[in-house]
Homo-oligomer: A and B are copies of this chain.
Amino acid sequence: MEEVDNKQVIFKGYIKRLPEVTDMEIKVSKIKLKAPKGSGAFLVKNLYLSCDPYMRGRMRDFKYSYIPSFVPGQPLEGFGVSRVVDSDHPDFQPGDLLSLITGWEEYSLIHRTDQLRKIQPDDIPLSYHVGLLGMSGFTSYAGFFEVCSPKKGEYVFVSAACGAVGQLVGQLAKLHGCYVVGSAGTSQKIDLLKNKLGFDEAFNYKEEPDLKAALKRYFPQGIDIYFDNVGGEMLDAALLNMKIHGRIAVCGAVSQKDVSKPRGLYNWLNLITKRIRIEGFLQNDYLHLYPSFLEHVISNYKEGKIVYVEDMSEGLESAAAALVGIFSGKNVGKQVIRVAHE
């Protein structure tokens, strides 16, 4: 039976700080391009891998998270786009393109089919199935429509607005008739937000000595909806600038270098005086909405009303740096790793 090299990105061991490149290493193992008979599994060739902030949590030795930790000595895993090479599963045939949870390696033997979707050949870029049409995009959709209760004409603030989730939140909000301001950390991202992604306004939080004052300047009338991807200081500043009955969806906390010592929130008394609702959420509580999400986003994308910015890293050798980069905002748009050309 044919046995080939299988390049892998190995998780070296648990960390408490932000991920560093040296927390991962490239290893080449061997793999048979065959799904074992009776296994019910299928073997895929990985084409694209997704870099997501939640993966940091899987690098910690923390047994009570909503998702298990990575296994030291084994490849990382995450969302990807892959092509079936061989299958012992009746629903999957060689050649099938899938969006799924797969390994950070060239070939993976897949046993689990949760959060797996078949991709129909289409004029949408394949890599978008981990971004715009994948977990990132679905997080935007579920968070904005289900958690934020948006109304036409409302004032919406999005942090990490140029990121995988933020860029679609802003566009969904604009399509919904809202006024949208985004924050990001480089002038290139601010330019993208204003000139490509259609935000009404955008600002570089690194150039703002006082985030409370910055939000007051961009929202003199107050914020109806804050879609929070960063937590910490920005969340605290937003609390002070919400309108009465404002809503905050807490999606991520990428601002926090050490999640075991998060920055405190001090402006929580505004919760009462302004009757603010804050809600944390995870996209996988809303998976029943995936079909309507796909319909909504694909139709708007095909009409040219939604665009998507990707940051493509080439090859598994670049994977560790790509993942590490998202925690300092090095990526411009959704960070994807191309493992192999289609």
Chain A residues in the interface with B (C-beta under 8 A) = 57, 65-66, 231, 235, 244-245, 250-253, 256, 259, 262-282, 285
Task: Indicate the member of A57, A262, A267 with the most B CB atoms within 10 Å.
Answer: A262
List of 7 A-B pairs having minimum Cβ-Cβ separation, nearest first: A264-B264, A271-B280, A272-B280, A277-B279, A265-B265, A278-B278, A250-B271
Q: How far in angstroms is the closest Cβ of chain B from A67?
A: 9
> What separation, in Å, do the CA atoms of A244 and B285 have in the docked complex?
11
CB of A5, distance to nearest CB on chain B (Å)? 38
Oligomer copy total:
2
Chain B residues near A271 (CB-CB < 8 A): 250, 278-280
List the B side residues contacting A244 at CB < 8 Å: 66
Do the beta carbons of B280 and A275 come within 8 Å of each other?
Answer: yes
Q: Are A279 and B282 in contact (CB under 8 A)?
A: no
Q: A279 contacts which of B273, B276, B280 (Cβ < 8 Å)?
A: B276
- Cβ A280 vs Cβ B274 within 8 A: yes
Chain B residue numbers with a CB within 8 Å of A250 are 268, 271-272
User: Would A280 and B273 count as touching, CB distance under 8 A?
Assistant: yes
Other contacts beyond A66-B244, A271-B278: 9, CB < 8 A: A65-B273, A66-B273, A231-B268, A250-B271, A263-B266, A265-B266, A276-B280, A277-B279, A278-B278
**Contact B268–A266 (Cβ < 8 Å):** no
